[in-house]
Amino acid sequence: MRLALIGLGNMGMAHLAIFKSLQPRAQIGAVADSHVPFAERAAADVPAAAVFHDALDCVQNADVDAVVVATADDTHREIVHACIERGLSVLCEKPLTTSADQSLQLVNAERATGHRLVQVGFMRRFDPDYQNIYRTLQSGRVGEPVLISQRHHNPLAVITFDDQQLVSSSASHDIDAFRWLTGEEIKQVALVAKTSRDGSTVTVVLTLTSQSGVVGVIELGRGPGMHYDIGCEVVGSGSSVTLDSPALAADWMERFHGAYRAQDAAWLAAVAAGSNTGPSAYDGYANNAVVDAALDSLASGQWPRAVGTAGDGRHSRPQKSLR
């Protein structure tokens, strides 16, 4: 598989290192970034790759089979749409786009091709600790899921998001994990937020309700008094299961390095086999719909807010496969 890597900041370079390690199954045929120093840095690392400074030029003209998108969030829609138009498989970092409307446009564009082309980078589905929770739930050992509690903390040195950015960016992983673990859509969301007077610390709490009534509580925060910390516990009618607590990590790249590698390797194999079952464009859209409703709850002070999703239901359920 000949790949184009578009967006060569920290996340893009992490993907580049992973795909280099997956040679010869993966060959990096092109790299692209509008920031010239980033493009030159990647070119020095993979001198055989064609170098582009325009993302769309790369998608339209690079001699590649598939594309990895790790650019700024607000550029995803245009780049992914160009990939769909050319018939290229694409792994896009979350969020798929910055709104449910934009993501639904991509869902419809992909459906018009008759092929699965888009995967969204919800890499927690590929993390062994999250997979253990998933398998435990599927086994029925905890009984009927009743409550899923998640925690997501970042030190101020790593994340400087305000309350809206914590929801639109950081919370997307937790929202996807809730949909994936329950196997259901989210019908309601509520959001409250608190920022310290000096602005150094921000905390938001989302409350989710699934179609069958499973309750989700997601607490996110950033500030100088926090260290990077991820938590998840599922309480069922018969028992509970908790995310294993690995040694403290400095940031998400350290904590989830294995998940990113597993995700990239699985995507590469699935694209080659024409059997991609990873997080879909619809999963990206459904995530956006929850985020939009949560931000509406924050802005209006009204909660809970209903989450509206569109489509014919063919892809409305979260993908069950761990592949």
pLDDT recorded at residue 102? 98
Instruction: Point out the domain boundary residue: 88, 122, 156.
Output: 122
Residues 159 and 246 in one domain: yes
User: Tens of pLDDT along 187-246?
Assistant: 999 999 999 999 999 999 999 999 999 999 999 999 999 999 999 999 999 999 999 866
Domains in the chain, number: 2
- With a CB cutoff of 8 Å and minimum separation 6, the contacts of 166 are 159, 193, 202, 204, 220, 221, 222
| Residue 274 falls inside a structural domain | no
Instruction: Clarify whether residues 219 and 291 are in a common domain.
Output: yes
Does any domain span residue 322? no
pLDDT at 251: 87
Distance CA 196, CA 203 (A): 9
Question: 289 and 165 share a domain?
Answer: yes
Whole-angstrom Cα distance, residue 259 to residue 128?
7
What CATH number does the domain containing 6 carry? 3.40.50.720
pLDDT of residue 303: 67
Structural domain for 226, as ranges = 124-259+279-306
| Distance from C-alpha of 207 to C-alpha of 218, rounded to nearest angstrom | 6
Alpha-carbon dihedral 222, 227, 230, 236, rounded to 10 degrees: -90
Residues of the chain scoring pLDDT < 70: 245-247, 303, 310-323
34 lies in a domain? yes
* Domain shared by 231 and 110, yes or no: no
> How many Å apart are CA 96 and CA 306, to the nearest integer?
21
How is 86-146 classified by DSSP, letter by letter? HT-EEEEPSPSSSSHHHHHHHHHHHHHHTS--EEE--GGGG-HHHHHHHHHHHHTTT-SEE
- Verify that 13 and 117 share a domain, yes or no: yes
85, 140: one domain: no
Q: Residue 323 domain-assigned?
A: no
Classified as helix, coil or strand, 299 is: helix
**pLDDT tens digits for 114-145?**
999 999 999 999 999 999 999 999 999 999 99
What is the token pair recorded at 83? 């990939």
